[in-house]
Structure 1
């Protein structure tokens, strides 16, 4: 059976991984002032956003996840011809309507695929499985990484779906913002009150950063740090300890809202890399999506891994 992968653009993975596994991308349209960016994980569009230095204003951007009609078109024009089964993974449904869009699109896709395949001379049924990763940004990477591994091993779709559900329920996504005012303005625009104006102002004045965690669709602060570098050192050190304690998927994904060359310069990153090498875990470096930078701010770090349930230790 020919099986493939599709993800929404805000899932942070390396370009090499996406190309190696021929991952289809459901784009997100980002509108800021009079400019429009198509967030589809293409390096040139990502670099255009970074070069425009829009970080101070991007909290006001409007983001439009891939509409139902475009999801249908992607599948009926290409994916139902290229594959017999596609696993479609999205960021958590609690933070984006894309999961709902894909589920709605699936009804028309499964209703109309037979005619498309018959006209192309392709026999047999087509299956589509939609998986909510229950996480955001780098936190979506473990489930997608595991999906690619299981597809390569030619595991049956039912077994893959069951395993991905387990990984999604045990994926942890951490976020360390640089600009607390940007984060506060963005979540206010989204109707979220988890960072108050007072907290943002005091935190900015004292250079106090929150460490945020997404787990099973819920995002909340799990710690506070003085200074971004100190926060990075704490986050990477924590991730190194989790690597040594054992992961459910041999992957730690780190995404950065800017030039990836900055990552090795951050305190604690060398130690995290050493822990991954010691334990046979891949350390994937991924550019943060345009959507991620709009929501968390340029220069932010997100980190994801899958592990047995545990309490945050910050």
Structure 2
């Protein structure tokens, strides 16, 4: 039984890790200044976007999920013909249409997959499941890495689905947005009022960099600093201490909306690397993808790990 894993391009993972594990990325459409781009999570294309400045707040940028028909076509051409069982983990359904469209596409595929499978020379039945990751960015990447680990354990498809769906609630995420005003403007265009105008003004006027912490997207501010590097160091301190205390999966996922030179200069990054190495944990360090950067803003950072219930303050 060959099991395949699908994520969308809001999922941040190192390119080499995704390629090594044959991860299929469901594209997202990015619309910037009226020009349409397809985000395949290609690292070269992503780097070009950062260098061009297209992701900066001076540009009109938004993302759009592939339609049900587009996703159905991809599933029939790329998934049905290659795998016997497939799991599609999407960015949280509360922030995107991807889960809904992928679910509708799955239903259509399950009713009509036989001809495509037969033409590809694959025997036997095909089954599929679309899962709401309840995560964004690095959190979604962490879930994908854990799922790949479970796939390697040769669990039954029902056991695998149960493990993945229960694991989503064990992921904790830290986000440091670089510009609250940017997030508010992007959220306003989506009809999302979770970032108030006052908070955006306060962050801009006083140069405040908040740390948003919580399970999945249910985060809340746990610290406010007037220096981005101070905020980063707090998150790194938290991650190091939590790694040393023990994790529920041997991964820490960290995605950064920065150039690689800026990423390597992040305070505390090498300490986190050392802590991961000493504790048998793999640090999944990636440049934030186009879709993620449009959502939370260039310059932002997202870190995710899985652990028993805890508070951010316990590891400061």
Could you state the TM-score of these two structures normalised by the residue count of structure 2? 0.94
SS at match of 1:198: helix
Equivalence for 1:268: 268
1:68-109 CA-to-partner distances (Å, cap 9, x unmatched) read: 111111111121111100111111111111111111111111
Please give the alpha-carbon distance, in whole angstroms, between the structure 2 residues aligned to 1:110 and 1:37. Answer: 29
Q: Which moved more, 1:60-69 or 1:296-305?
A: 60-69
Q: Shift in Å at residue 217 of structure 1?
A: 4.2
Equivalence for 2:78: 78
Structure 1 segment 115-130 matched on structure 2, within 5 A:
115-130=115-130
SS at match of 2:192: coil
Please give the alpha-carbon distance, in whole angstroms, between the structure 2 residues aligned to 1:43 and 1:88. Answer: 21
1:199–1:119 CA distance, 2 compared to 1 (3 A): closer
Please give the alpha-carbon distance, in whole angstroms, between the structure 2 residues aligned to 1:219 and 1:99. Answer: 21
Equivalence for 1:236: 236
Aligned length, in residue pairs: 314
Equivalence for 1:180: 180
CA contact (8 A) 2:236 2:268 kept: yes
Please give the alpha-carbon distance, in whole angstroms, between the structure 2 residues aligned to 1:171 and 1:136. Answer: 11
Please give the alpha-carbon distance, in whole angstroms, between the structure 2 residues aligned to 1:53 and 1:194. Answer: 26
Could you state the TM-score of these two structures normalised by the residue count of structure 1? 0.94
CA contact (8 A) 1:81 1:122 kept: yes
Equivalence for 1:309: 309
Please give the alpha-carbon distance, in whole angstroms, between the structure 2 residues aligned to 1:166 and 1:85. Answer: 19
Equivalence for 1:110: 110
Structure 1 segment 247-258 matched on structure 2, within 5 A:
247-258=247-258
CA contact (8 A) 1:139 1:214 kept: no
In the alignment, structure 1 segments of 5+ residues that lack a partner are: none
Equivalence for 2:162: 162
Equivalence for 1:137: 137
1:59–1:278 CA distance, 2 compared to 1 (3 A): farther
Q: Shift in Å at residue 246 of structure 1?
A: 1.1
Equivalence for 1:199: 199
Structure 1 segment 17-166 matched on structure 2, within 5 A:
17-57=17-57, 60-166=60-166
CA contact (8 A) 2:62 2:186 kept: no
Please give the alpha-carbon distance, in whole angstroms, between the structure 2 residues aligned to 1:64 and 1:253. Answer: 25
Structure 1 segment 205-244 matched on structure 2, within 5 A:
205-244=205-244
Q: Shift in Å at residue 199 of structure 1?
A: 2.4
Q: Shift in Å at residue 216 of structure 1?
A: 4.3
Q: Shift in Å at residue 22 of structure 1?
A: 1.0
CA contact (8 A) 1:135 1:172 kept: no
SS at match of 2:187: helix
SS at match of 1:163: helix
Please give the alpha-carbon distance, in whole angstroms, between the structure 1 residues aligned to 2:239 and 2:14. Answer: 19
CA contact (8 A) 2:173 2:216 kept: no
Q: Shift in Å at residue 209 of structure 1?
A: 1.1
Q: Shift in Å at residue 59 of structure 1?
A: 6.7
Please give the alpha-carbon distance, in whole angstroms, between the structure 1 residues aligned to 2:29 and 2:251. Answer: 29
SS at match of 2:200: helix
Q: Shift in Å at residue 183 of structure 1?
A: 1.7
1:214–1:126 CA distance, 2 compared to 1 (3 A): farther
1:117-159 CA-to-partner distances (Å, cap 9, x unmatched) read: 2233322100112121111000112211111112223222112
